[in-house]
Structure 1
Amino acid sequence: MNIKTYIVFSFVFFGFIATAQDVLTTDEAMKLALEHNYGIKIATNTVEVADNNQGILNSGYLPTLTGNAGASIDVQNSDGELANGETRVADGAETRRYNASINLNYTLFDGMGRLYNYKRLKEEYLLSELEARQTIETTMVQLFSIYYTIAQLSENSDVLEETLIISKDRLRRSGYQFDYGQNTKLDVLNAEVDINNDSISVINIKQQLKNTKRDLNVVLGNKKSEEFRVETELNFLLELNKETLLEKMKANNVSLLQAESNINISEYDIKTSKAQFLPTVGLVGSYGWNESTNNSPLAFTLQNTNTGVSAGLNLTWNLFDGGGTITRVKNTKLFLENQKLQKEQLIIDIERNFNNAWDNYQNKLLIFQVQEDNIKTAQNNFDRTEEKFKLGQVTSIEFRQAQLNLLNAELSRNQAKYDAKLAELDVLQISGELLNVQF
């Protein structure tokens, strides 16, 4: 199969596929990722673990209740002398003992350590939610980055196919002109070379498009076939206000919220450590049953049964543990101080990143607008050159140059278009608004 036949077949094949493909919208892509992305699923399970840990069953506030039971049999041979001088022998005398009890232990006071640990578990749950949100935001950025790459490749593919059509028309005209002696064989050969180059570009971009769709499918949890198209119409959030986003960033940026949560956890750790300086008061109680039987003729009691309830309080006070608790409190305070310093540093870094992202977004929008204007100039130049080429007033080389200028302008416009959208996503992520806007 020669290159021309292959291209014709490719146009027919891909044209058929394009009509059969479903359009994957950004909303649908987000929904599929949230439901099926494996990273998000793992993060969700981690949140459930933290939710279980913060429950009353893991708080230490409930008592412990244990049950014990036992049984034993003793077989002994014994002999004994009674008061009247009579001697008795007991061979194989059995003694059976049975017991059962229920024991209750409950901590009444532990220096408030239990309370602070419970609050710490609550804060760890909030931290796990923030970590899950960070995973979702990262996945969404990855999703949109691949999605818009597909959109850009799709538009570039259309541009390259249109370029190939123009090149084929040029070859046909060059062939006619050569047949009528209006140009040389060199013009025909140049047109064939350009067709081959354009054909290779089309083949390469089709393969890139397939590969990128597979990349997107991985993010979606392998829930889409490769036969789909994406939306290429973009809406920019031009009403974004820098000062408003900056304030939202300070309140909603996930990294800052995580830093604040870690500070809260460290404060609870300090209080929990200090609680070890205080005594622990506990309540104990039990209900027991004991029974023993003895078939020995020497035994005074053949069966004995006891039942009873007992209760009491105990106090434990670690008066001095070698200084371990003091050391832990000091180290935890220093760790808390470091976390506060890290948060201050993080605020500076994030503000810088936000300002950089905002300026980058504005520049990308400006470049996109310039490229839109450049398209008009390149299209006008190409149309004029094409008219002159048909009239034989310009050479095929000049026509090809105008064609390449238009192609490059369209490819640059597409690049600028999606660069601007990705820059917008960067601004939204840093400001903490990525999951709060409609794409």
Structure 2
Amino acid sequence: MKYRIIIAMILLCGTSQLRAQQGLTLESSIAIALENNLNVKIAKNQAEIADNNATKGNAGLLPILSANGASNYSEHSTNEVSSSASVNVSYNLFNGLKARYNYKILNLRKEQGELNARFSIENIITNVVSEFYQLSKSYDDLSVAIENMEISRDRLNRNQSKYEFGNINKLEVLNAKVDFNRDSSNYLQTEQIYQETVREMNILLGRKADTEIQVIPDKSDFRLLDLEKLKSQALKENAEYLIKESELKENEFVLRQSKSAQLPSLSFNSAYSYADQKVMGTNSHTQLTGGLNMSFTIFDGKQKKRNIVNAKIEKQNAAFEYENKLLELEKDLLNAYTDYQYNLRTLHLEEDALDAARLNFDQTKAYYQLGQVSATTFRDAQLNWMEAKNNKAAARYNAKLSEIKMLKLSGSLLEPFNN
């Protein structure tokens, strides 16, 4: 299963390599979470339990061998001493194929355990990716806030110099001071949000909240996704859908198992025993016994019939859940694909808006330094440029989150991180 591929990737990365990295990338975030996150460990343990249960012995397909021994002493006039030992073997030769169906059910539950583990790990990866992009967005916002504050600081310093030489009045200095203070306050708020996001990310990675992070924003290109190919792949790889498919198969075997109770059962029993009794001498003997037992319930208060009827209903419910999951999967894929295309178009628009805002700011700044535009016009151009930078960053991360959702629904979320 794919979750095993991820675990192998952790071993390839290695803890020492992760610690040696200069910054936190998307790939290293995923590897750290898979190594440290407690929910990942729980998911792997649950899958291992299901794997351990899927044995022929647990299904009742293997014989049972037992040994017994006893020794007794009775203090009478005869001082009787007796001892005995036996080895017993029992095996169900036929029980209406109940054990064979049970073995098939256990193997299906093993499969479901692996799928559930993969589903849990995919959810954790999705959360890590989402938080990483949120952290990257906060990092970009902080960079923009710093740049905005520096622009206002430069304007304030220039106005103070001009005022000292008598080129402008005090009001322009005070206006620049107000804008600088506002931008400084915004920087502090943005820094606080960034630090809170860092702490959230650390907890998700299974680390102490105060662990320092040097984030390296993801600059990867967007994937060209085809809706029809994603639908086809989802039917083969989507963990939730495959779980419902496996549960439907399990209910079919449960129904067959219920019907098998209508057939007789045949078992084989054999024992080898040894007995020794000492009463005024020694008397010992051995004995080998064996036999076949057949049983058939003629009437059980219609319990078998009731179990079969209920098993049919459970199978029908499983079929309904399976069909419903298919409809939900198709709907979710279509919604995610539509969101992805919308966010990509929005990103292109925001990139164009950023180019226009940057050009407008550069020209306005030049005119402002020449005294050809007012401080208000310069301030508007500055804020428009900063807003355009924030909007472009938000649009990129929204598009990336839509891309991740598409990959998760199609069951191909892990592919970019397994290359």
Please, what TM-score do these two structures have when normalized by structure 2? 0.91
In structure 1, the partner of 2:246 is 261
CA contact (8 A) 2:101 2:257 kept: yes
Tell whether the 8 Å contact from 1:108 to 1:282 is kept in structure 2 after alignment: yes
8 Å Cα contact 2:222-2:400 kept in structure 1: no
- Comparing 54-63 and 305-314, the one that deviates more: 54-63
Structure 1 residue 187 and structure 2 residue 166: aligned?
Answer: no
* Deviation at residue 395 of structure 1 after TM alignment: 2.0
Deviation at 1:413, TM superposition (A): 0.7
Counterpart of 1:128 (choices 87, 92, 113) is 113
Residue 303 of structure 1 deviates from its aligned partner by 2.4
Question: Who is 2:226 aligned against?
Answer: 241
Deviation at 1:57, TM superposition (A): 3.2
Matched letter for residue 307 of structure 1: T
Aligned to 1:11: none
| Cα separation, partners in 2 of 1:397 and 1:61, compared to 1, 3 Å | same
Residue in 2 that maps onto 1:83: none
Q: Distance in 2 between matches of 1:362 and 1:436?
A: 21
SS at match of 1:24: coil
Q: Secondary structure at the match of 1:69?
A: strand
Q: Report if aligned partners of 1:372, 1:413 keep a CA contact under 8 Å in 2.
A: yes
* CA pair 409-22 structure 1, distance change in 2 beyond 3 A: same
1:21/1:229 contact within 8 Å kept: no
Q: Does the CA-based 8 Å contact 1:178-1:188 persist in structure 2?
A: yes
Give the AA of the match of 2:315.
L
Structure 1 residue 206, shift from structure 2 partner: 1.9
Match of 2:343 among 364, 377, 381: 364
Unaligned stretches of 5+ in structure 1? 1-19, 77-91, 296-301
Secondary structure in 2 matching 1:93: coil
Higher share of residues assigned strand: 1
Structure 1 distance, partners of 2:216, 2:315, is 48
Q: 1:304 maps to what in 2?
A: 283
Confirm whether residue 137 of structure 1 aligns to residue 112 of structure 2: no
Which SS does the other structure have where 2:28 is aligned?
helix
2:322, 2:167 → 1: CA distance? Answer: 76
Mark the CA change 1:436 to 1:21 in structure 2 (over 3 Å): closer, same or farther.
closer
| Structure 2 partner of 1:52 | 52
Q: Distance in 2 between the 1:163 and 1:429 partners?
A: 37
- Aligned equivalents of 1:399 and 1:387: distance in 2? 10
Provide the rounded CA distance (Å) in 2 between the counterparts of 1:55 and 1:21.
44
Distance in 1 (alpha carbons) for counterparts of 2:292 and 2:324: 51
Pairwise CA distance, 1:224: 9.1
Shift of 1:225: 6.6
Aligned partner letter, 1:105: S
Q: Which of these residues, 337, 362, 380, is aligned with residue 316 of structure 2? A: 337
Counterpart CA distance in 1 for 2:303 and 2:243 is 29
Provide the C-alpha distance between the structure 2 equivalents of 1:361 and 1:52, rounded to a whole number of angstroms.
41
Question: Could you tell me which residue of structure 2 aligns to residue 63 of structure 1?
Answer: 63
Q: Which of 88, 111, 114 matches 2:99?
A: 114
Structure 2 residue aligned with 1:12: none
Question: Residue by residue, what CA displacement relative to the aligned partner does 1:321-379 show, whole Å, maximum 9, x if unpaired?
Answer: 11111111111111111111222122122211111111110010010110001011111
- The alpha-carbon deviation at position 21 of structure 1 amounts to 8.8
Which residue identity does 1:317 align to in structure 2? F
Which of 185, 191, 208 is equivalent to 2:193?
208
RMSD: 1.8
1:256-335 correspondence runs (5 A) = 256-295=241-280, 302-335=281-314
Aligned residues: 399
Structure 2's unaligned 5+ residue stretches are 1-19
Please, what TM-score do these two structures have when normalized by structure 1? 0.87
Q: In structure 2, how many angstroms separate the alpha carbons of the residues matched to 1:263 and 1:406? A: 56
Could you tell me which residue of structure 2 aligns to residue 6 of structure 1?
none
Q: Could you tell me how far 1:438 is from its partner in structure 2? A: 4.2
Deviation at 1:163, TM superposition (A): 0.9
Could you say if the C-alpha distance between residues 311 and 223 of structure 1 is closer, same or farther in structure 2, counting changes exceeding 3 Å? farther
Deviations 1:383-415 (A, max 9, x none): 111111111222222211111111111111111
Tell me the distance in 2 between the aligned counterparts of 1:438 and 1:32. 13
Deviates more, 1:65-74 or 1:221-230: 221-230
Comparing 246-255 with 104-113, greater Cα deviation is found at 246-255
Could you list the per-position Cα deviations for residues 50-101 of structure 1 after superposition, in whole angstroms to 9, with x for gaps in the alignment? 110002332312111111111222233xxxxxxxxxxxxxxx3311111111
Which moved further from structure 2: 56-65 or 355-364? 56-65
- Find 2:392's aligned residue among 404, 407, 413: 413
Q: Confirm or deny: 8 A CA contact 2:247 2:318 kept in the other structure.
A: yes
How far apart, in 1, do the equivalents of 2:249 and 2:56 lie?
20
1: CA distance, partners of 2:21 / 2:175 = 36
1:161 aligns with 2:146: yes
